[in-house]
Structure 1
Amino acid sequence: MAALPDWMRPPRAEGWFAEDLDRLPEAPRHTELIDGALVFILSPQRSWHGRIVTGLTVGLMNQAPEGVEIEREMTIRLDSRNRPEPDLLVTSLPFDADRTWYAPTDVSLVVEVVSPESAHRDRTVKLRKYAEAGIPHYWRVEDEKGSPVVHVYELDAPTGTYAPVTIARDSLERPVPFPVSLDLAKLTPPLTRP
């Protein structure tokens, strides 16, 4: 077994901190920080995942009111030891070409498209962490026999947890964080059989 490269060794006994991610140019592109540990997304993404993320990005961008931005694959600094990278986020901050992360108070919606390797984190760990950070809306997109199914959550402020709102198949209509109407069936091409 080969020795770990120096950049993979934590800079201190307590592990990694959120600001350390900006000092790791050698790290793989989609590196997250969860509870002070680096999480690498090294497995190849399925075409389905990319198609859904792109379709949601375009759909949300086309419907976002002025002053609302849709970002792909940008980290959110939840606290000093957590900086996850959702597939999409919605913010009201203006575009900044040098930005590398957002604060939770800057984010109104987080979208995670579940992959086999991210399923546990997306369904439990990130669900809890985004809620504890106060992000008002969370969508988790699952693959149901090739079709996207969106699990919609809203933050219950008194408990600081997400409450399930709906499970959307075929279409998604939401009044928040801005009026959204998405034809989910159009996010993936129909299966063709001989």
Structure 2
Amino acid sequence: MTVASNLPNRPLTLADVTRLAEADSSHRFELSEGNLVVMPPGPWRHQRSSMLMGAWLLNAYGDRVNAAPGVQTADDNLNGRIPDLVVTKAPVDDDTVWLDRAVVTLAVEIVSKGSERMDRWLKPIEYAEAGIPFFWRVEPDEGVVQFRLEDGRYVEYGKVPLEALLAGEVPVLS
């Protein structure tokens, strides 16, 4: 991979990751304390779940919904994650690459082989520390585990099959 050979000898920044993503569209890049995390595209089930949930959320939240946006998860420029879906508190400027964590109201992760620990353990901690009010995780069995931020930690408030979630009304996220 020629992109990796051109990495600087220092912790990476969100600007570095943006340049990497522009040069390599076949991977997703995240940043954890300046360390690069590289992920391949999700499998078919992952992408299908993302599209179905995205379309469902679009009905209620319109241009506040986006698939795989960058979210700056700390005050520095050394930490950024890419949730599978987000809903923001207000519309976002079209040129935004890394969302300020304060504008994100819901982050959704779809667990696939290779992302289990990251999606179940690490990302929820980072999203909670970032103050993102809601976090949903779609498990491989297509169960959607829903969490709400309370006292700086996520508390589970529901688990529903994806099909049942999508058949219902989109909840108010506030």
TM tier relative to shorter chain: 0.7 to 0.9
1:109-188 equivalent positions in 2, closer than 5 A: 109-144=106-141, 148-156=142-150, 158=151, 160-169=152-161, 170-172=163-165, 175-177=171-173
The change in CA–CA distance for 1:95 and 1:3 in structure 2 (over 3 A counts) is closer
1:1-194 equivalent positions in 2, closer than 5 A: 5-7=4-6, 9-12=7-10, 15-24=11-20, 25-28=22-25, 29-42=27-40, 44-64=41-61, 69-79=64-74, 80=76, 81-144=78-141, 148-156=142-150, 158=151, 160-169=152-161, 170-172=163-165, 175-177=171-173
Q: Secondary structure at the match of 1:116?
A: coil
Report the count of equivalent residues. 166
TM-score normalised by L of structure 2: 0.85
TM-score normalised by L of structure 1: 0.77
The change in CA–CA distance for 1:48 and 1:11 in structure 2 (over 3 A counts) is same
- Contact 2:133–2:148 (CA under 8 A) maintained in structure 1: yes
Unaligned runs of 5+ in 2: none
The change in CA–CA distance for 1:51 and 1:3 in structure 2 (over 3 A counts) is closer
Structure 1 CA distance for aligned equivalents of residues 33 and 129 of structure 2 = 13
Per residue, is there more helix in 1 or in 2?
Answer: 2
Structure 2 CA distance for aligned equivalents of residues 5 and 19 of structure 1 = 15
Q: Secondary structure at the match of 2:119?
A: helix
Q: RMSD of the alignment, in Å?
A: 2.2
Structure 2 CA distance for aligned equivalents of residues 10 and 106 of structure 1 = 30
